[in-house]
Structure 1
Amino acid sequence: MKKEDFHIAQIIANYIRSESTPLEEKELNEWLNQDETHHKILANFKDDRKVLDGISYIADIDVDVAWKKQRRLNTIRAKKNKRLYLSYAAVFAAIVCTLLGIYQFHFNKEISDRIVPYVGSAHANDILPGSDKGILILSNGKKVPLGPEEQALNETNGIQINSDNNSVAYHNGAIVSQGELLYNELHTPTAGTYQLTLSDGTKVWLNALSELRFPIQFSSDERKVFLKGEAYFDIARDPDRPFKVMASQVTTEALGTQFNISAYDKQFQAILTEGVVKVVGNKNSAKLYRGQEATLAKGSLKVSVADIEKATAWKEGYFYFNEQPLKEVLEEISRWYNVDIKYKKNVRKQRITGTVSRADKLSEVCDVLEVVSDYKFYIINNKLIVYAKETTL
């Protein structure tokens, strides 16, 4: 196979999307004039609905990377004396079919009913925001989808669990001994949030792509839960039983207070909005007072002045960015809209400041980001392409 095969595949993809440059149109015409079979290949692409759906994926493939992979494959085949002698057109058809097969395998798993048409030419489609949804895993392993409908559940020990609209609550929270603890888990997917009321009355708001493991009844000496992702806690006061949140190898301990913990990808940030908490890491510990935050850097906890609005904005329904790196901004957007972020060349580091509603469609969020940054954004399927304003797609 030739590297030019991959290059022509991209040119055809751009042609069918009506995004060809004059140079690409010239190259396409030259390729068409080389062989009558090439005209048939192009005609088949234009008539095949599946190919039209997959064209966008092909257009974004890195030709150099794809060619390097294919060249390694050719070397292996040569060593095994299994060379394939195909016509240029057949080789090209095989390449594109392979690429489309990869596209259909990966994208169909991620396709969402939140992908909706976009009116205009700025984007290929639009994406609706996330919503209140989650998965509750009971002590026997049963998984219960949570959404807007009301549900009444019973755990094996008689604990009553009720869910409605956007929250799930545990009742009959008697104290039990440490050995009798039964655990449940609440998981939120990308594009999902959910609220939880624990058996002691503590309220927890779970952000997108997060997990909370908790006992359905707490022990007599402490209340301990385990977090992955992000959650806001409003702790029910109990001087005799400290409340502990275990996240990213850091313990946050409180008696009755409010705070937000973000613990994605082994990172850790705790922001205190009310009261006092103690944070304990592997190397050191610290007390936090209202308006302070603790972050984990190289295994050590660092305390600094916090931006309280950042801790509460997401649960109040809006994005809040204050000199936040663009990459972190887009990570939040990726989790809430369930999109893959792809950076084009010439994207430099930049910090973003601004607010935008989490109830907006993704295109509306992109409009705001374009005003406050040096970048443009393009939505196609479940992908958000980011590129500098002085460049083109």
Structure 2
Amino acid sequence: MEKDQRISYLYQRYLNGNLLPEEHQELKEYLSDFAYGDDFNRALDDTWNALDENQLVGLEDYKAKEIFDDILKRRKGIRWFGEYFKTLTVAASIILVSIVTILFLKKSYKSDLSEKLSLEQEILPGGNKAFLTLGNGESIDLSEEKSGIKVSDAGISYVNGANIIEGKKGDNSSTYLVLNTPKGGEYQITLSDGTKVWLNAESKLKYPFKFQGKVRNVELEGEAYFEVAKSKDQPFIVQSRGQQVKVLGTHFNINTYDTETKTTLVEGKVRVDKQDQRGEKTSVILKPGEQSVVQPFASQIDVQNVNILEFLDWKDGLFVFNNESIVSIAKKLSRWYDVDFSFQGNVNNVRFSGNYLRKNTLTNLLKNIELTGSVKFKTENLKEGRRIMVIANY
């Protein structure tokens, strides 16, 4: 039996609830092996097309979550999380169909599917988009053909070496510049000390042309992942809303999108400081796998253990949803696909789990979510841009 036929067979038995233990393990092996991505893609298309709508009733959430959790657990023993994502991104564009659809299929369809899919226009993903603002106020629209820039004594150039501006000496060497990504944009930068920064959509990094003095200081709005070059004599400090992060050399992510600021540590050690309205300071030291949460009016800094994959997904080209509300998901999609969302009806209890490649269209993702019967989407073209209405099916 061909691999795609075998996967179709196993997947169908899974949906029917009569998968044997050894077959269950075999299906998970296929799902966790990147090499079978195309086979899995074809198999799921065939299986989906052959489904009887009566089979879509009564599947339990915990069964689908079992496979999702099992894949996440497989990262044990693998040091470099980037390599794990190659395993996690099985079946490329149809991860949601392969994992999440299992979780989603809880209701029978009361009408033809074509009537439910109200999205008519393809909504393309974001890409390499950023603006560089110089000390004199001049703004440079950076190339979308390049993924990042680097700062050196010779000036600022693209990663392939093409020059953007020539280096300046003397007083101008400490001039601060700003790298800004709009909605639907991301960019990378290597700072003058060798520190690498990945900037997510709707984010801003303020940094000097060259670090001088006893500290290396930058300011962040939005979200960024840092790989800080080690320097015992010159600590690296990130100023962001409500907090200050101080490191010598480490890898971490900072997210300031919502009212709370989250710092997630991948490796090394960082100190997170905050100062309340009375001027009292609070500090915590994070260990790898921990995340600090700074609330605007809280006196303390909360620390929790997290699965870092869920917070670094964007850097590796993924959306990872783990029992996440549709409202939270919409915020992430809004930033990356440059659309606005509105809500109609009670969507507070609508939650989803699964993965989706950021390089794929939003239209495909939303159509798959519509198949759950929990919500449907309607696009509106307004003067100020596109808006998607999320309508609860309750």
Change (3 A) 1:371 1:151: closer
Choose 318-327 or 256-265, whichever is displaced more: 318-327
**Separation in structure 1 between the aligned mates of residue 117 and residue 371 of structure 2, nearest angstrom:** 18
**Separation in structure 2 between the aligned mates of residue 203 and residue 307 of structure 1, nearest angstrom:** 22
Change (3 A) 1:364 1:279: same
**Separation in structure 2 between the aligned mates of residue 153 and residue 193 of structure 1, nearest angstrom:** 12
Give the number of aligned pairs: 269
Change (3 A) 1:214 1:169: farther
Aligned to 1:136: 132
Deviation at 1:347, TM superposition (A): 2.4
Partner amino acid for 1:378? K
Deviation at 1:284, TM superposition (A): 1.4
Deviation at 1:345, TM superposition (A): 2.0
Partner amino acid for 1:238? S
Change (3 A) 1:372 1:353: farther
- Structure 1 contact 317–359 (Cα < 8 Å) conserved: yes
- Structure 2 contact 319–358 (Cα < 8 Å) conserved: yes
Partner amino acid for 1:161? I
- Structure 2 contact 150–191 (Cα < 8 Å) conserved: no
Deviation at 1:388, TM superposition (A): 1.4
Deviation string 1:105-164 (CA, Å, 9 cap, x unpaired) is xxxxxxxxxxxxxxx953132210001010000111110001235799999x97511025
Deviation at 1:168, TM superposition (A): 9.5
Deviation at 1:219, TM superposition (A): 1.4
Change (3 A) 1:121 1:356: closer
Change (3 A) 1:167 1:387: farther
1:231 aligns with 2:224: yes
Aligned to 1:349: 349
Deviation at 1:274, TM superposition (A): 0.8
- The structure number with the bigger radius of gyration is 1
| Matching of residues 39-188 of structure 1 within 5 Å | 122-149=118-145, 159-163=154-158, 181-188=174-181
Choose 380-389 or 327-336, whichever is displaced more: 380-389
Q: Could you say what secondary structure the match of 1:284 adopts?
A: strand
Partner amino acid for 1:226? E
1:294 aligns with 2:292: yes
- Structure 1 contact 259–311 (Cα < 8 Å) conserved: no
Unaligned runs of 5+ in 2: 1-115, 276-280
Q: Could you say what secondary structure the match of 1:239 adopts?
A: coil
Deviation at 1:259, TM superposition (A): 0.4
Change (3 A) 1:201 1:338: same
**Separation in structure 2 between the aligned mates of residue 368 and residue 151 of structure 1, nearest angstrom:** 30
- Structure 2 contact 150–190 (Cα < 8 Å) conserved: no
Q: Which has the higher contact order (CA 8 A, sep 6+)?
A: 2
1:387 aligns with 2:391: yes
| Matching of residues 259-270 of structure 1 within 5 Å | 259-270=252-263
- Structure 2 contact 380–388 (Cα < 8 Å) conserved: yes
**Separation in structure 1 between the aligned mates of residue 311 and residue 180 of structure 2, nearest angstrom:** 20
Unaligned runs of 5+ in 1: 1-119
- Structure 2 contact 324–353 (Cα < 8 Å) conserved: yes
- Structure 1 contact 167–194 (Cα < 8 Å) conserved: no
Partner amino acid for 1:389? N
Aligned to 1:207: 200
1:284 aligns with 2:282: yes
- Structure 2 contact 153–192 (Cα < 8 Å) conserved: no
Partner amino acid for 1:290? P
Partner amino acid for 1:385? M
- Alpha-carbon RMSD: 3.3
Aligned to 2:249: 256
**Separation in structure 1 between the aligned mates of residue 340 and residue 264 of structure 2, nearest angstrom:** 28
- Structure 2 contact 148–188 (Cα < 8 Å) conserved: no
Deviation at 1:301, TM superposition (A): 1.2
**Separation in structure 2 between the aligned mates of residue 196 and residue 153 of structure 1, nearest angstrom:** 5
Deviation at 1:210, TM superposition (A): 0.4
Normalising by structure 2, report the TM-score. Answer: 0.62
**Separation in structure 1 between the aligned mates of residue 161 and residue 309 of structure 2, nearest angstrom:** 22
- Structure 1 contact 227–245 (Cα < 8 Å) conserved: yes
Deviation string 1:185-208 (CA, Å, 9 cap, x unpaired) is 000000000000000000000000
